[in-house]
């Protein structure tokens, strides 16, 4: 996965993966798909959507992801920490309430951060949520570890 963010001097990407944003941040009012990026200096979420490119008369179009915006882009010293929470939802949905015969468990990454609106806790469904939590805790603690 190549990064489309511009890194500052001595800034390195620690983790970068696709994620589903579920809620908890004042600048992101709804579900979004995108990329979660952790550097040794910042925590970011890039909102992305699929667009069709190219083609001729409707044939040969390619689908690719395009960044819509970066609703979360904060210095690492504004991140308080991260935890993982197990939740239950209706099978095959993003976060609809579970029913008696259709439910599955999934993990979300809760990231506590200090924003201009106070303490906020955005939640993300991301592969290897526990690894993300550890990486964020290490970055918050000042360890510059490359994964």
5 within domain boundaries: no
Residue 146 has pLDDT above 80, yes or no: no
User: In this predicted structure, what is the pLDDT of residue 101?
Assistant: 87
Range name among 4-8, 65-69, 133-137, 140-144 with the lowest pLDDT average: 140-144
Q: Is residue 2 part of a domain?
A: no
pLDDT of residue 4: 65
Picking from 103, 104, 113, the residue whose alpha carbon sits closest to that of residue 83 is: 113
Confidence of residue 96 (pLDDT cuts 50, 70, 90): confident
Specify the pLDDT at position 109. Answer: 97
Is residue 91 situated within a structural domain?
A: yes
Residue 3 in any domain: the answer is no
pLDDT digits (tens, 9 = 90+) for 1-13: 445 688 999 999 9
The Cβ of residue 109 has, within 10 Å, a number of other Cβ atoms equal to: 23
Q: In this structure, what CATH number is given to the domain that contains residue 70?
A: 2.30.29.30
User: How many domains is the chain built from?
Assistant: 1
Per mean pLDDT, which of 99-103, 108-112, 142-146 is the most reliable? Answer: 108-112
Q: Quick: pLDDT tens for 18-71.
A: 999 999 998 887 889 999 999 999 999 999 988 877 767 667 777 788 888 899
d(CA 39, CA 133): 13
Please check whether residue 145 lies inside any domain of the structure.
Answer: no
1 belongs to a structural domain: no
Its domain, for residue 78, covers 13-140
Q: What is the pTM of this model?
A: 0.83
Cβ atoms within 10 Å of 35's Cβ, excluding its own: 21
Q: Is position 8 within any domain? A: no
Q: Is residue 68 part of a domain?
A: yes
What letter would DSSP give residue 1?
Answer: -
């Amino acid at each position: 996965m190549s990064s489309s963010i511009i890194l500052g001097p001595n800034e390195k990407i620690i983790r970068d993966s696709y994620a589903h944003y579920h809620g908890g941040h004042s600048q992101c009012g709804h579900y979004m798909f995108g990329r979660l990026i952790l550097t040794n200096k910042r925590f970011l979420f890039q909102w992305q959507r699929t667009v069709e490119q190219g083609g001729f008369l409707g044939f040969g179009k390619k689908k690719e992801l395009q960044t819509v915006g970066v609703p979360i882009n904060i210095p690492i010293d504004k991140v308080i920490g991260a935890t993982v929470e197990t939740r239950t939802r209706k099978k095959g949905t993003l976060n609809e309430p579970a029913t008696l015969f259709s439910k599955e468990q999934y993990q979300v990454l809760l990231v506590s951060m200090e924003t201009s609106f106070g303490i906020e806790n955005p939640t993300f469904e991301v592969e290897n949520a526990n690894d993300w939590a550890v990486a964020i805790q290490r970055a918050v603690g000042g360890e510059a570890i490359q994964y």
